[in-house]
């Protein structure tokens, strides 16, 4: 079975630009989605065969990098970043390969929705560029997970729609 691949992690700056005040709430929600995505990737790894390891590692690494970058941007704005929950309840039970692939696609869709909200809540060009890149990456990964699951349609017409 072909393995979904993932775009590389977003670049991170050593001195992050602070989140603009108009986008703090939406970036906090996007950070929460990143925390959840990292948790989901770790959960499903127990149910997927080794053929998916590369895609799982790439997706988890990308979400960790985005989580860390979001935390740095919020901290630079003197805002305490939201922390992760001790655990998350997946939208459906994860018991096998099929349910794992579905939950991965849903986690990516949730991240896309959160980052679309960032786009809608700021005029800052750098943050908009970052949010669009993250939304796009999540949409691509969600499509690849849906395709691996045999879900039709694999691609959504408007990724990030709530």
d(CA 1, CA 10): 27
Average of per-residue pLDDT across 8-36: 83
On whether the CB atoms of residues 132 and 138 are closer than 8 A, the answer is no
d(CA 89, CA 82): 18
- Angle in degrees, CA 54, 117, 69, rounded to 5: 50
d(CA 70, CA 47): 29
Sequence-distant (≥ 6) Cβ neighbours of residue 49 within 8 angstroms: 97
**Would you state the pLDDT for residue 55?**
97
d(CA 69, CA 10): 9
Average of per-residue pLDDT across 18-42: 97
Where are the chain's structural domains? Answer: 21-84+93-149
Percent of the chain with pLDDT over 70: 91
Note the pTM of the prediction, 2 decimals.
Answer: 0.89
d(CA 27, CA 39): 18
Query: Does the pLDDT at position 3 exceed 70?
Result: no
Q: 121-155: string of b/e by CB count within 10 Å (b at 16+)?
A: bbebeebbebbeebbebbbbbbbbbbbbbeeeeee
> What single string gives the DSSP state of each residue in 90-132?
-SS---SHHHHHHHHHHHHHHHHHHHHHHHHT---HHHHHHHH
The structure tokens 């979904």 sit at: 4
User: Confidence class of residue 7 from pLDDT cuts 50, 70 and 90?
Assistant: very low
Assign a CATH topology to domain 21-84+93-149: Ferritin (1.20.1260)
On whether the CB atoms of residues 118 and 30 are closer than 8 A, the answer is yes
Query: Does the pLDDT at position 31 exceed 90?
Result: yes
Who has greater pLDDT, 15 or 74?
Answer: 74
**Would you state the pLDDT for residue 15?**
72
């Amino acid at each position: 079975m072909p393995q979904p691949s993932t775009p590389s992690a977003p670049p991170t700056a050593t001195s992050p630009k602070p989140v603009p005040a108009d986008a703090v709430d939406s970036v906090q929600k996007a950070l929460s989605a990143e925390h959840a995505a990292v948790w989901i990737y770790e959960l499903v790894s127990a149910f997927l065969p080794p053929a998916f390891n590369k895609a799982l590692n790439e997706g988890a690494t990308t979400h960790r990098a985005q989580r860390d970058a979001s935390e740095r941007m919020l901290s630079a704005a003197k805002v305490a970043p939201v922390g992760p929950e001790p655990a998350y309840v997946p939208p459906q039970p994860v018991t096998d390969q099929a349910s794992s692939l579905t939950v991965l696609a849903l986690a990516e869709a949730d991240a896309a929705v959160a980052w679309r909200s960032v786009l809608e809540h700021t005029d800052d060009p750098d943050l908009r560029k970052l949010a669009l890149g993250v939304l796009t990456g999540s949409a691509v990964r969600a499509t690849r997970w849906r395709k691996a699951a045999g879900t039709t349609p694999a691609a959504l017409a408007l990724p990030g729609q709530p």
